[in-house]
Amino acid sequence: MPDIKLAQQIAQTIADEIGAQPAQARAAIALLDEGASVPFIARYRKEVTGGLDDTQLRNLETRLTYLRELEDRRAAVLSSIDEQGKLTDDLRNEILGADTKSRLEDLYLPYKPKRRTRAQIAREAGLEPLADGLLADPTRDPQVFAATFVDTDKGVADTKAALEGARAILMERWGEDAALVGELRTWLGENGVIRARVAEGKEEQGAKYRDYFEHAESLAKIPSHRLLALFRARREEILFLELDPGNEAEAGHLYAEGRVAFKAGIRDAGRPGDRWLLDACRLTWRAKLHMHLLLDLFNQAREKAEAEAIAVFGDNLKDLLLAAPAGPKTVLGLDPGIRTGCKIAVVDATGKLVATDTIYPHEPRRQWDQSLHTLRQLCQKHNVELIAIGNGTASRETDKLAGEVIKALGDTRLQKVVVSEAGASVYSASEFAAKEFPDLDVSIRGAVSIARRLQDPLAELVKIEPKAIGVGQYQHDV
């Protein structure tokens, strides 16, 4: 019964989010659970889902996964706390009301099994009454009060050790306050500034990241491609990344420390214990909460940036794969180059390779006339109808060369088209290309790919691993 009720709650939540009826959501969920895909359901099961479109179904699938993971984690959290004998009714209700994974983890943090911390050791040494006593009555002198807790048998050698243990207890308590952590996470996420600086001695090795050697930008507003670049540079140990609490970092730190103090009911009234308590608040933020939230927010930002990068890549790849084919025409493919020359491949109307060559119209050889002659001969000999020019280095200059060839031949049927050469070099060195053209030089294989992708982009591009088709944002990272 509980499982059925939970499934109904999930269906209701998703239905509200996608603008559908609960019955529609339940029907779609059932189909997904049976193994049906979103495209299949959108096209062939409209009568079952009441006409849910593909966008609604994709959102439903994403949220279904998230909510089920949330419920599984919620059950695990409740079980763990219950086994510890610490599950009160109020805590249970808070956990049952948590609507995000972050909120759930914040509530679980004080009860999560962990290695023996300094706070746990201090409690075992009997220092919790010292922490509670100073917090409850700041008129007490910390040094005098702590002296009564010195016990060498328990590892408390002096008043300094006693006060450090008491501080660790308070820092752990405040640092695991779910409401405080949630408030500061939201505040830091909205106001945080991601700051990058280059690692000492890595300037030359990380030259391609030079724009980020001294860089600062709002975490909430940074574009996904820039954030992924920063994370890649950090992974390569070129950059150090920090998350400052605002443009004025020190002011932000002071604000966060103030929020910790406010939550703990601490203020500076000139009492003997105020200074010590405020110092504990400062360390709670600077040594504990700030780093914890930095890692949390960086993970959230990375996941969001990766999702955006995947969406951009998908849209661009779709446009590329579905580009209108030129059809069965003889095509001369030109893979532009400067020092190594322009590679030529002629394919007939069926895509079969019929001729290859290399010309050097650009620097340093500058064999412009010889290149024109070679291209004219190939076009005439094979009745070329289209010239496909790769859009890489020297593309503009090579396009000019092709224009002069067409003008010289005076053939109104012959046209030139600049095509994307994304992934052509990867294809040329691939095992697939080696099997297709075992005796052809690697550099010429790229020209063949350029010619064929004008005839039929989809048929040619499916030979290339998707991440190697350079139409995305750091797709290799995601």
Distance CA 404, CA 369 (A): 10
Strand-strand pairing, 214-218 and 239-244:
unpaired
Distance CA 81, CA 176 (A): 15
Output the pLDDT for position 1: 35
Strand-strand pairing, 193-198 and 214-218:
antiparallel
User: Tell me: the pLDDT tens digits for 334-385?
Assistant: 999 998 899 999 999 999 999 999 999 999 999 999 999 999 999 999 999 9
**SS3 call for 406:** helix
For 391, counting Cβ atoms within 10 Å of its Cβ (0-12 exposed, 13-18 middle, 19+ buried), the class is middle
Output the pLDDT for position 324: 67
Residues in the chain, pLDDT under 70:
1-2, 324, 468, 470-478
Reported pTM: 0.66
Output the pLDDT for position 264: 94
Output the pLDDT for position 425: 82
Output the pLDDT for position 73: 94
Q: Domains, the chain, ranges and CATH? A: 1-109 (1.10.10.650), 118-192+245-313 (1.10.3500.10), 331-468 (3.30.420.140)
Task: Share the mean pLDDT of the chain.
Answer: 91
Output the pLDDT for position 421: 86
Cα angle 56-465-445, degrees, rounded to a multiple of 5: 140
Output the pLDDT for position 360: 96
For 410, counting Cβ atoms within 10 Å of its Cβ (0-12 exposed, 13-18 middle, 19+ buried), the class is exposed
